Structure 1
Amino acid sequence: MRGTVKKRGTWSYIVDIGKDPITGKRRQKTKSGFPRQKDAEAALRKLINELAEDRFVEPSKDSFSSYMEFWFTSHYQKRIKETTASSRKYLMDKHLIRENPFANKPLSKITTEDIDAFYNLKLDEEYSTSTIRKLHQLLNQAFGQAVKWKKISFNPVINADPPSVKKEEMKIWSFDEIDSFLNQCKGERHYLTFLIAIYTGMRKGELLGLKWSDIDFEKKVIRIQRSLSHIPNKGYQLSTLKTKKSKRQVPIQDFLIKALKALKERQETQRKRLGEHYQDQNLVICTEIGTFQDPRNVLRVMKRISEAANVTPIRFHDIRHTHASVLISEGVDIVKVQTRLGHSKPSITLEHYAHMMPNQDDEVADIFHNALQKSR
């Protein structure tokens, strides 16, 4: 690799620094202002050595916002689920571009101090620590890729200090509250929606994406294979599950099998009554014409029934927590609970529910003591 030194008033050098890793176009580096020829030659040799050792970085002149948009569309969104991409795009547009003090600052000029100040700003604006951690992850991935593309020499997010996620206190129903809610719910269109949720611990999207072909009435299992998700500008669509472990089989009881068969018969009657106006999508939980059930309607019904039943107001996801807490309090092995809930690994289940596990310290002490007694 060779460069050229020339005199144009002062001395300068020009050298080919290779192709742009993104566009593939040839790039050159020029620097002038050297008072002597040997100064320009020394600077050129240093640059050539950096190029030979792959240490040279040409600081990007792109603004942060323009880089983020390019990175997101050309790289990031192609590697994640469509539903995840839509939520991350919203976070990026709102927080990292429209409401960001360094949005128009050159990418190469952004410092760790800028990043920390941004996190503090979001805390002052009372955004949740969970949201800020998601923004931190986006920034870290974006700047990390900028380093790989040699747009910057260092990722400033590495040394940044995002806030720890503050976990909301888990709310669950007691046995009496479960009974009160279900009794109040009887006769409602969504009675079976809540019954399945309480007895299986399925996520809301998994439940609303459930098809009749997923239910094996003979083996008495529900096969969870997809989820209903909302995609901006596209509406509700069926999507793949969060993780491989989310795809699972959940055994169910005879009474639930009987209730499901009764629902299937009612849907068949409705389909025949409406004829061509019924849009059959083979969904277990659907509207009266067979289409996707809007999750917001389910939440409105849940709120109304909860108030009428005078039970603790909880989120739909807390029904899942209630299911898990009952299993754990009854001594069900944590791995079996993990499998039923579809967590990717037991440690996640433990992280959520360890405080609910029965205290067996006394039993452990006895086991240790008895073991030593036997050895003597």
Structure 2
Amino acid sequence: MARIEKRARTGGRTVYIAKWYTITGQDRSKTFASKKDAEAHLTKVRNAKLHGNEFDPASGRMLFREAAALWLDDRKASLKATTYAAHAERLAPTTAESMTRHARLTHKGQPLRIDPSFGDYPLNKITHDDVQAWVNRLVASGRQPSSVRNLFFVVRQILEWAVKTKKLTANPAEHVQLPGNRTASVAKGANKSAAKRSRRRDDPARFLTAAQVAVLAAATPWPYSVFVHTDAWTGLRPGEIIGLRVGDVHLAGEDAGESWLSVAESVAVIDGEPVYLDPKTEGSVRDVPLTADTAARLRAYLAVHPNLHDPDAPLFPGFSAVPLRLPHMRKREPGTVPPSRLSAAVRDAGAELRAARHEDLPPADRQAAALADLSVDEAA
């Protein structure tokens, strides 16, 4: 039952203490200078209970780091394993030593990652200005707009979870100004590399021409050249081509018929290990036709594959016969393709990258569009 107690403080000052019980039976109190203010507060408490909007100020003292852990745990069952791992990485703590050692983790001495920025703050101490200032630091540091938005959306969802669980009355991340889709502003005095990053397009959608694919495949040692050629002419996502198994290759006879790849899985690295997952979308489960040249290369490649007769074996295994790791495919391995050799080959061929702006098409279709000027004979 709600009530007001009148108390005399040292020095003769009189205060009024509003006391009430929460819906869970916890005793709460708040002190006011006048009885009128105390009564007004209890009226708000009663109305909140009546409409199911009761708010416990004490719960807002929970640290952002603790709320983030609870939010992530609540979403584990509904998130894809890769999305869960990405959120966990974004929320991972960063030591002061790491921030000192890695310049990309700070901007003008202020942290950029989520945990150092908000982790030690109680939820009810995080303001709209705090979130906006953090976003501004990310932009000024040269982060791509998409990266800034992805980090911000995680923070906003955690704070929204705090509102839903009655730890906050409002989300301080609402109405925060974010960078646009194509540009990111760089603060005056930012370093040159940050300025260059800011001028890049978000997802420039660059694709190789047929001549460039031929040069690149020729400059790549076998059997990696088969991997390069197959990916270029099928437009598969990195995780999809790495996720191919021997049984996913369907080769027609050498004289006639169609050849294709069955795409039904994708590989991602989670906690340092490659894991087979369902494709990105339902539409990603598909059969991808192969050109005659691609089919011939895969036929020769499979003829010496160490697990030719195991349909579940990775089509493109690493040295340990497990699927290739995505991080390894996104950077050149030492001793594979010397930079000087590749750049010279491209220069001799007179090939130049051309940007294709087909944002409304999926990646496979955009790669196909870049090669659409070829005749059937040239493609074969």
TM norm structure 2: 0.70
Q: How many residues align?
A: 309
Alignment match of 1:47 (pick from 45, 48, 55): 45
Secondary structure (helix, strand or coil) at the match of 2:215 reads: helix
Return the alpha-carbon distance in structure 2 between the equivalents of residues 39 and 322 of structure 1: 65
Alignment match of 2:346 (pick from 276, 290, 310): 310
Does the CA-based 8 Å contact 2:219-2:337 persist in structure 1? no
Q: Give 5+ residue unaligned stretches, structure 2.
A: 9-14, 95-111, 183-200, 253-257, 375-380
1:14-163 counterparts in 2 under 5 A? Answer: 14-19=19-24, 26-33=25-32, 35-36=34-35, 40-59=38-57, 60-72=60-72, 74-93=73-92, 94=94, 95-100=112-117, 102-163=118-179
Does the CA-based 8 Å contact 1:210-1:224 persist in structure 2? yes
- Residue 202 of structure 2 is aligned to residue 172 of structure 1: no
- The corresponding residue for 1:337 is none
Q: Which amino acid aligns with 1:82?
A: A
- Residue 218 of structure 2 is aligned to residue 183 of structure 1: yes
- The corresponding residue for 1:327 is 369
Return the alpha-carbon distance in structure 1 between the equivalents of residues 278 and 43 of structure 2: 54
Q: Which amino acid aligns with 1:141?
A: Q
Q: Which amino acid aligns with 2:180?
A: S
Q: 1:132 offset after TM fit, Å? A: 0.8
Alignment match of 1:217 (pick from 251, 269, 291): 251
User: In structure 2, do the counterparts of structure 1 residues 126 and 303 end up closer, same or farther at CA, with 3 Å as the change threshold?
Assistant: farther
Alignment match of 1:226 (pick from 265, 271, 276): 265
- The corresponding residue for 1:235 is 273
- Greater helix fraction, Structure 1 or Structure 2: 1
Secondary structure (helix, strand or coil) at the match of 2:213 reads: helix
Return the alpha-carbon distance in structure 2 between the equivalents of residues 231 and 289 of structure 1: 18
Q: 1:303 offset after TM fit, Å? A: 6.7
- The corresponding residue for 1:22 is none
- The corresponding residue for 2:100 is none
Return the alpha-carbon distance in structure 1 between the equivalents of residues 6 and 68 of structure 2: 39
Q: Please, what is the CA RMSD of the aligned residues?
A: 3.3
Secondary structure (helix, strand or coil) at the match of 2:29 reads: strand
Return the alpha-carbon distance in structure 2 between the equivalents of residues 146 and 227 of structure 1: 34
Does the CA-based 8 Å contact 2:210-2:371 persist in structure 1? no
Return the alpha-carbon distance in structure 2 between the equivalents of residues 41 and 116 of structure 1: 36
Q: 1:99 offset after TM fit, Å? A: 3.3
Does the CA-based 8 Å contact 1:133-1:165 persist in structure 2? no
Secondary structure (helix, strand or coil) at the match of 1:99 reads: helix
Secondary structure (helix, strand or coil) at the match of 2:30 reads: strand
Alignment match of 2:291 (pick from 253, 276, 286): 253
- The corresponding residue for 2:189 is none
Q: 1:294 offset after TM fit, Å? A: 3.4
User: In structure 2, do the counterparts of structure 1 residues 70 and 220 end up closer, same or farther at CA, with 3 Å as the change threshold?
Assistant: same
